[in-house]
Amino acid sequence: MIRIFAKEFNSYLNSLIAYLVIGVFLTGIGLLLWVFPETSVLDYGFADMETLFSMGPYVFIFLIPAITMKSFAEEKKLGTMELLLTKPLTDFDIVLGKFLASFLLVLVALLPTLIYYFSISRLGNPVGNIDTPGVIGSYIGLSLLAFVFCAIGIFASSLTANQIVSFILAAFLCFIFYTGFDSLATLSSASALMIKQFGILYHYEALSKGLVDSRDVIYFLSVAGLMLLGAKTVIGSRQW
Amino acid sequence: MPLKVTHLTKIYGSQKAVDNISFTINKGEIVGFLGPNGAGKSTTMKIATGYLPATSGSVLVSNLDVAEQPISVKKIIGYLPEHNPLYLDMFVHEYLNFIGKVYKIPSGLLKQRVNEVIEMCGLHLEQNKMIGSLSKGYRQRVGLAQALIHNPEVLILDEPTSGLDPNQIVDIRKLIKEVSKDKTVIFSTHIMQEVQALCDRVIVINRGKIAADDQLKNLTGKKQNTHVIVVEFKEKVLTDDLLSIAGVTKIVVDGNQFRIFSEAATDIRPELLRFATEKGFSLLSLKQEENSMEEIFRSLTSEVIA
């Protein structure tokens, strides 16, 4: 597993993908947080990082599928899948290695935004006047959201040999999981809460409040687990 | 027993790709797996490497069942898949290191081992290049180096020379011959000369069934019950005149050439020369057709179809 992880992560670093992802994410979030008047924290007047945590998921909906789309699709197209599968590796080693590599890349992209936290807390009046527990909770929430999106991306990539199909499918699934269930809940009033709880947004917002509830964490982990299991099953389906 | 295939069958949908084949390969043998395209060679190899499951039957590699202990089997097999898939954006050195690590070669030994296979496969000049920038012949060497890195007991090569130019083919063959000294090798091909150049033993497979499984020399001997002489005369010659020569059984006219069949026991060439001088014909060419692998292959694989 660790071999696949290292190889995948290296291939991100050796290609443009890693730098593009980090660059686009930071530029996008930076512009939203500091420059664009509607969302700029400077114009807003309150020392919080709401913009990062409300816009971040939308950036991830496009960025993460772009990271994960090649993970299996390209291997299938090149035929290297056969190479990997005839090596002494289990299917789960391969899925998990690829998944963790993409997740680590997202975390690396997320890391520099800690500077924003520092800047905003310095800009507060009095200095340091920021809801730190809320920010920590939101970071945990955003990381878990990226965790789920990566798993969805890996699953979508395992389904096809075409990277574009994989990208569109992953972006669509991420979108459905993020806001789809929430919107669906507005259609039926009877079981609205239950439907809402199927979506990511409900749990993500709960974490943003700074209250890390094990139920929310378990939700994220189980959705990701389900997606990875799906990917493993698809890879193993050649054996049927 | 390095490789033992028993009653192996693979069915894709309604098509039988491999139909109840059994064979054993002994230690140290180089076996050619010969057959037309779509005969089931690659499928058999994919099953033996654990990539595909068998519909029924079993493959044992060093007495380990591929279906039951896939990981242990994969550790002792070196496999070069058809079309030789490679990570084109990796460097040769990096790639071999990665494969070595996948096989869990301890990092202390890995560096030395990578250098060994690079030397063995003649890649030392290319070792710092990106795989994508290598020619097809060198890529094939990288594929072979990859299959050899963990010093496997069994080497399975699926069409190792397809798509190479004649010089590269000779090079790769030489390489296979060299590396296979202490290994059991099975390789597939549809080129007959390859088999003659490399193997001790041939398994001819056609439409998923084994059409022949024998030592190469037996196989070439077996079919040799008729001789064929090809002759060409300057003048017009009647076939009936040729048929009157003692020992001739059949004549096929092929343009200006005659293919004269005779019993293997009798050599009719002196008779033919006498015939030509007696009748005053000038003989332009006379040659004995070798009963080549090509013909054996054709006769074996078309017999089954007929």
pLDDT at B305: 43
A238 in B contact zone (CB under 8 Å): yes
Q: pLDDT band at A66, cuts 50/70/90?
A: very high
Most confidently predicted of A222-226, B89-93, B285-289: A222-226
Most confidently predicted of A144-153, B139-148, B227-236, B297-306: A144-153
Average pLDDT, chain A: 90
Do A88 and B87 lie within an 8 Å CB cutoff? no
pTM of the predicted model, to two decimals? 0.84
Helix (H) or strand (E) holding B10: strand B3-12
A43 in B contact zone (CB under 8 Å): no
Q: Longest C-alpha distance within chain A, in Å? A: 65
Chain A partners within 8 Å of B52 (Cβ): 238-239
Do A3 and B90 lie within an 8 Å CB cutoff? no
More confident call, B54 vs B257: B54
Interface test with A, best of B87, B104, B153 (most A CBs within 10 A): B87
Chain A partners within 8 Å of B46 (Cβ): 82
Is the pLDDT assigned to residue A102 strictly greater than 90? yes
Is the pLDDT assigned to residue A124 strictly greater than 90? no
Chains A and B form CB pairs within 8 A to the count of 59
B261 in A contact zone (CB under 8 Å): no
Average pLDDT, chain B: 84
Average pLDDT over residues B94-104: 92
Three-state secondary structure call for residue B280: coil
Return the number of other C-beta atoms located less than 10 Å from residue B166's C-beta.
Answer: 8
Average pLDDT over residues A104-129: 89
A13 in B contact zone (CB under 8 Å): no
Return the number of other C-beta atoms located less than 10 Å from residue A231's C-beta.
Answer: 28
User: Rounded to whole angstroms, how far apart are CA atoms B102 and A4?
Assistant: 8
Do A86 and B88 lie within an 8 Å CB cutoff? no
Q: Which of A147-151, B171-175, B249-253 has the lowest mean pLDDT?
A: B249-253
Determine the distance in angstroms separating the CA of B165 from the nearest CA of chain A, rounded to an integer.
22
Torsion of CA A114, A117, A121, A123, to 10 degrees: 110
Determine the distance in angstroms separating the CA of A13 from the nearest CA of chain B, rounded to an integer.
12
Torsion of CA A111, A117, A119, A124, to 10 degrees: 180
Provide ipTM, 2 decimals.
0.85
Q: pLDDT band at B225, cuts 50/70/90?
A: low
Nearest to B26 by CA among B154, B210, B151: B154
Is the pLDDT assigned to residue B306 strictly greater than 50? no
Q: Which of A144-148, A162-166, B185-189 has the lowest mean pLDDT?
A: B185-189
Average pLDDT over residues B186-193: 82
B71, B72, B79: residue with CB nearest A90:
B71
Determine the distance in angstroms separating the CA of B50 from the nearest CA of chain A, rounded to an integer.
6
A83 in B contact zone (CB under 8 Å): yes
User: Rounded to whole angstroms, how far apart are CA atoms A208 and A55?
Assistant: 13
Asked whether A95 and A158 are in contact (CB, 8 A), the reply is yes
Chain B partners within 8 Å of A4 (Cβ): 102
Torsion of CA A135, A137, A143, A144, to 10 degrees: -160
Do B86 and A80 lie within an 8 Å CB cutoff? yes
Do B85 and A7 lie within an 8 Å CB cutoff? no
Chain A partners within 8 Å of B85 (Cβ): 78-83
Is the pLDDT assigned to residue B302 strictly greater than 60? yes
Do A82 and B99 lie within an 8 Å CB cutoff? no
More confident call, B182 vs B59: B59
Do B81 and A79 lie within an 8 Å CB cutoff? yes
Determine the distance in angstroms separating the CA of A18 from the nearest CA of chain B, rounded to an integer.
15
User: Rounded to whole angstroms, how far apart are CA atoms B18 and B8?
Assistant: 7
User: Rounded to whole angstroms, how far apart are CA atoms A56 and A144?
Assistant: 12
Q: pLDDT band at A231, cuts 50/70/90?
A: very high
Asked whether A207 and A145 are in contact (CB, 8 A), the reply is no
Instruction: Categorise residue B244: left if φ over 0, alpha if ψ from -120 to 50, beta otherwise.
Output: alpha
Chain B partners within 8 Å of A78 (Cβ): 85-88
pLDDT in tens, A4-38: 999 999 889 888 888 998 999 999 999 988 898 88
The secondary structure of B147-164 as a DSSP string is HHTT--SEEEEESTTTT-
pLDDT at B304: 45
Chain A partners within 8 Å of B102 (Cβ): 3-4, 87-89
More confident call, A185 vs B221: A185
Is the pLDDT assigned to residue A49 strictly greater than 80? yes
